Structure 1
Amino acid sequence: MNSSIILATLALAIGSFMNVLDMTIVNVSLSHIAGDFAVAPDQGTWVITSYAVAEAIFLPLIGWLTKRLGIIKQYIGATLLFTLASMLCGVSPTYEFLLTMRILQGVVGASMIPLSQTLMLQLYPKEKKGIALGIWSMTIVIAPVVGPVLGGWVTDTASWRWCFYLNLPFGIISSLIVYSIFKKDISKEKSIKEPIDIVGFIFLAIGVGSLQLMLDKGNDLDWFSSNTIIGLGISAFIFLVLLVIWEWHHESPVVNVRLFLNRNFFVGSFALMFSVLAYFSGVVAIPLWLQNYMGYTAFISGKSTSTLGIAIMMVAPILGKKIDKLDSRKVAALGFFTLGISTFLTSNYSPQITPQYVAMTRFFNGFGVGIFFISLNTLTLSNISDENLASASGIYNFMRNIGSSLGTSLVIPAWNHAMAFHHTMMASTITTANPNISSSLADSPKYLAMINQQVILQSSIMGINDVLIGGGIISLLLIPFLFLAKSTKPIPGEIL
């Protein structure tokens, strides 16, 4: 492997890591941002929502955009614009300006992840594409784990603005390296002036925008008890159905929905969406539980859960070298099985939990995540033609985004419902008929408050265990679904 491939791999990995990191690094800084701009905390969440909606709308458009602009030019341009938008986010004088720059980040940043994946696959020979996918997968999965830790540390030691300034050197370095290595290929890229499917784009923008808004704001508005959420849900369903019908019959679609006719792409994309939902529930819920109920700081909780990334880094290079010679369906099934069983075995958190034990449980979970994520990449994209690779990668990453949005939006109400159930069950036993309850102290407000505090703590622990077990069940249920796809194992004697 020559030095140019190594440098290009590093540059593309930096670009994708920086992009995914930006989705989570500001999560722990929202209260500081809201305070600086004197806006309500619930308004502060638009810093995340604006970025997520813009990126979700433009991810499925990547294939169409690359035909008009070229993969290399689009990646370099998107990375430089993303870096510029990051700097402008950091210097934002008003909250409205910050939201505008976050929208710009989402629009241009949507190209970075799928195109970094596409360029990596084009860079490596077919027999080594697994290595490329392993490295790419590692950066994509680790970034959401590192983001809250890094964001908390940066905000505490400097300012939330530095969460954006961090992107500047990495964005510039990634762009310069990619340009220096691929500059001879830029002139060879063909630009196809395909007509703009305005109707398809409108359906896409309204449908995906409504869906992402519904997922991001569902918790805040109490889901379907809110007319706003009901309206967004109806809008998402209608316009996404119209999008599929329209694009299916359009000669130059903005989204190539016919890719789902490829059985492996269909199975891999939906398996990814639900598996990311399952794994992301722990990524979101465990830090919240540790900080809100166990008294951990953001940095300690982040450090305790970051071991998931260490396991992924151990798996990625080894599996990446071997995956092209294996049946990726069976490898993904092993990953789901590992994640499911490790989740069941470690979902036994208690009030005596230590940071070391949390780190150990997340470390074991990380092996399963690393195995299924890398193998699903191979399963989904292994038999996609080069001309459709950018489009397929855009849709594939869109499905990943929807999975993470589902995991983030559904895990909190699921946890709250589980907590409420366990709280009710335990509270029902706190009567004078219970021999463990002192009848002489039963009327003491201080005594009852102390008991209630313990009940809340215990119910939060039981609730988090339930959430993790639910994620494990989803992982196991996905195993038979994988075998609807075709085997990717090379036939003996086949030339790769």
Structure 2
Amino acid sequence: MAGTASYDLVTGRRRFVAGIALASVNLMVVLDMTIANVSVPHISGNLGISPSQGTWVITSYAVAEAICVPLTGWLAQRFGSVRVFILSILGFGLFSVLCGLSTTLGMLVACRIGQGLSGGPLIPLTQTLLMRIFPPDKRARAMGLWAMTTLIGPVLGPILGGWISDNWSWHWIFFINVPVVLFSAGISYSFLRVVETPVETVPIDRVGLALMILWIGALQIMLDIGREHDWFADPTVLALALFAAIVFVVFVIWELTEEHPVVDLRVFRHRGFTINALTIAFGFGTYFAGIVVIPQWMQITLGFTATWAGLATAFTGMAGLLVGRAAPVLITKIDPRIVLSGALVWAGGATLLRTNWTSGADFWTLGLPQFIMGLGMPFFFVTATSMSLSSVPSRELASAAGLQNFLRIMGVAVSTSVVMTYWNDQARVAGSELAGRLNPDTPGGTIAGFSVEQSRALMAQLVDREALTIATDKIFLIAGLLMWLIALFVWLAPKPKRMADPMAGGH
């Protein structure tokens, strides 16, 4: 097969089925980032633990995945992309079953760590393998399919998790992974072994690996507990932040000077990759602000059920599906920087439409901006992903995909913590201002037909509801303006010479 391009080895129906299998794996892994979020109360009650302890089910997965994603390049180089991919799928399936069978918090957290370690390489490897089996003129469409699963996954997670927990049992949020694992592992073993990447016996960078585990773990734990402990006013949070920062600096210096680094940071020398990978991190983090805030605000303030709140956010994914096929075509016709910048301006405008939401908003008032936002997101994510991977040579593709996805995951983690902290802080500030203006002349006044205590309780509820609404509108004002700022940042990247062809040269 020497001299034969990798995409000539998987053709026709096999290529189509393999593409579906790869996209399904990515959807499954991304979905598992958020599917447990709404199930924490069910898990906590069933295992007899507190809700704060239950959040470790989420944190353990996020930390393990964040650690393993940037390792993908080294693992693929050492063992082969397809081999690592198949073993990771099987590991993910095994730990999914064990999560569902868990009877204690310790067992569940340990299995979630295993699930995260197995799932980390799957996200970038689905990209890498799609690029290997599709010819240059079809890679943008393949990446469009991949991008849509990445956008839809976080939206579907809470809906599916809530529905399964309410109607079946929380155990099934893990068991549902098994059919996808069996299908994808079988297809990958049958169809993809012919496009295995060359294997090199490179030494293990034990120091770099240890440093990476330490700084990512400390940062992720800091982000998780920070908002519950008043951030840097708490000595533990401050110590974690300083430790993460110091170890990160040491890690960067070590990896840049190591002959065989566990994470190849040299890929950042490509300006096109760096700018577009950062655009994905900033843009996806800003987009995720809505996924974090909207469902909670709808349930807390407006009284929607988890299912209806999830459906409102799902309009973004529904709209994206309608235009998803257009994005890959458009970026091959005009300068992709125009498409990417325009998509961010569109998304910023759709975000600003949410700044006039009130506590009396109905479902369609909330759903329309979500739908409008969704029309622009494929053009953002498909374009930025294709531009970043098109900026690196094929031998660095696995490392680039791993680092790109790592930045996106960390962007989401930081965004979630910052947004939730700011949202709660602004709600308290708005609540204090509203309470100060309420009945200024008669502080002990009552509402007709209610006692003093009942009147105060009703007014407190009113204040809390309006305060959260004001805070929500502020979140989207800032997020919309940030989207527009990121649209300018795009232009720091060079114009791609050839879109969606990072594998030029054949394999």
Q: Would you call these one fold, judging by a TM-score over 0.5?
A: yes
Partner residue, 1:73: 83
Rounded to whole Å, the distance in 2 between the matches of 1:237 and 1:221 is 19
Given the alignment, which residue of 52, 75, 97 partners 2:107?
Answer: 97
Partner residue, 1:344: 352
CA contact (8 A) 1:129 1:324 kept: no
Given the alignment, which residue of 315, 323, 326 partners 1:315?
Answer: 323
Deviation at 1:280, TM superposition (A): 0.6
Partner residue, 1:45: 55
Relative distance call for 1:300 and 1:441 in structure 2 (3 A) is: closer
- 1:52-451 correspondence runs (5 A): 52-186=62-196, 189-433=197-441, 444-451=452-459
Equivalent position amino acid for 1:81 in 2: G
Deviation at 1:425, TM superposition (A): 2.0
Alpha-carbon displacement from aligned partner over 1:432-459 (angstroms, at most 9, x marks no partner): 449xx88999993433332232121111
CA contact (8 A) 1:145 1:309 kept: yes
Partner residue, 2:485: 477
Equivalent position amino acid for 1:114 in 2: P
Relative distance call for 1:67 and 1:427 in structure 2 (3 A) is: same
Alpha-carbon displacement from aligned partner over 1:222-267 (angstroms, at most 9, x marks no partner): 2112111111111111111111111111111111111111101111
Determine helix, strand or coil for the equivalent of 1:251.
coil
CA root-mean-square deviation:
2.0
Rounded to whole Å, the distance in 1 between the matches of 2:462 and 2:103 is 45
Rounded to whole Å, the distance in 1 between the matches of 2:47 and 2:457 is 37
CA contact (8 A) 2:29 2:123 kept: yes
Deviation at 1:325, TM superposition (A): 3.3
Between 222-231 and 398-407, the greater mean CA deviation after superposition: 222-231
Given the alignment, which residue of 459, 463, 467 partners 1:455?
Answer: 463
CA contact (8 A) 1:328 1:489 kept: no
CA contact (8 A) 2:302 2:360 kept: no
Partner residue, 2:4: none
Between 423-432 and 142-151, the greater mean CA deviation after superposition: 423-432
Partner residue, 1:487: 495
Determine helix, strand or coil for the equivalent of 2:229.
coil
Alpha-carbon displacement from aligned partner over 1:114-171 (angstroms, at most 9, x marks no partner): 0001001111111221111111000011000000000000001100000000000011
Relative distance call for 1:71 and 1:440 in structure 2 (3 A) is: closer
CA contact (8 A) 2:446 2:452 kept: no
Q: TM-score when scaled to structure 1?
A: 0.95
Given the alignment, which residue of 471, 475, 479 partners 1:467?
Answer: 475
Determine helix, strand or coil for the equivalent of 1:347.
helix
CA contact (8 A) 2:41 2:51 kept: yes
Between 328-337 and 78-87, the greater mean CA deviation after superposition: 328-337
Equivalent position amino acid for 2:358 in 1: S
Deviation at 1:375, TM superposition (A): 1.0
Between 393-402 and 242-251, the greater mean CA deviation after superposition: 242-251
CA contact (8 A) 1:12 1:174 kept: yes
Figure out how many residues of one structure are paired with residues of the other and give that number: 489
Equivalent position amino acid for 2:492 in 1: L
CA contact (8 A) 1:324 1:489 kept: no
Relative distance call for 1:92 and 1:475 in structure 2 (3 A) is: same
Alpha-carbon displacement from aligned partner over 1:456-493 (angstroms, at most 9, x marks no partner): 111111111111111111111112211111012649xx
- 1:17-32 correspondence runs (5 A): 17-32=27-42
Q: TM-score when scaled to structure 2?
A: 0.93
Relative distance call for 1:372 and 1:439 in structure 2 (3 A) is: closer
Rounded to whole Å, the distance in 2 between the matches of 1:489 and 1:425 is 55
CA contact (8 A) 1:339 1:472 kept: yes
Between 423-432 and 479-488, the greater mean CA deviation after superposition: 423-432
Rounded to whole Å, the distance in 2 between the matches of 1:107 and 1:439 is 57
Query: Identity rate of aligned residues, in percent?
Result: 36
Q: Say if 2:18 is the partner of 1:8.
A: yes
Rounded to whole Å, the distance in 1 between the matches of 2:478 and 2:168 is 38
CA contact (8 A) 2:446 2:455 kept: no
Rounded to whole Å, the distance in 1 between the matches of 2:450 and 2:119 is 59
Deviation at 1:206, TM superposition (A): 0.6
Alpha-carbon displacement from aligned partner over 1:293-333 (angstroms, at most 9, x marks no partner): 21111111111211110111122211123323332222111
CA contact (8 A) 2:390 2:498 kept: no
Rounded to whole Å, the distance in 2 between the matches of 1:274 and 1:267 is 10
| Gaps in structure 2 of 5+ consecutive residues | 1-10
Rounded to whole Å, the distance in 2 between the matches of 1:259 and 1:442 is 67
CA contact (8 A) 1:135 1:320 kept: no
| Gaps in structure 1 of 5+ consecutive residues | none
Equivalent position amino acid for 1:161 in 2: H
Alpha-carbon displacement from aligned partner over 1:38-87 (angstroms, at most 9, x marks no partner): 11110110001111101111111110110111001111110011011101
Deviation at 1:221, TM superposition (A): 2.2
CA contact (8 A) 1:284 1:408 kept: yes
CA contact (8 A) 2:289 2:419 kept: yes
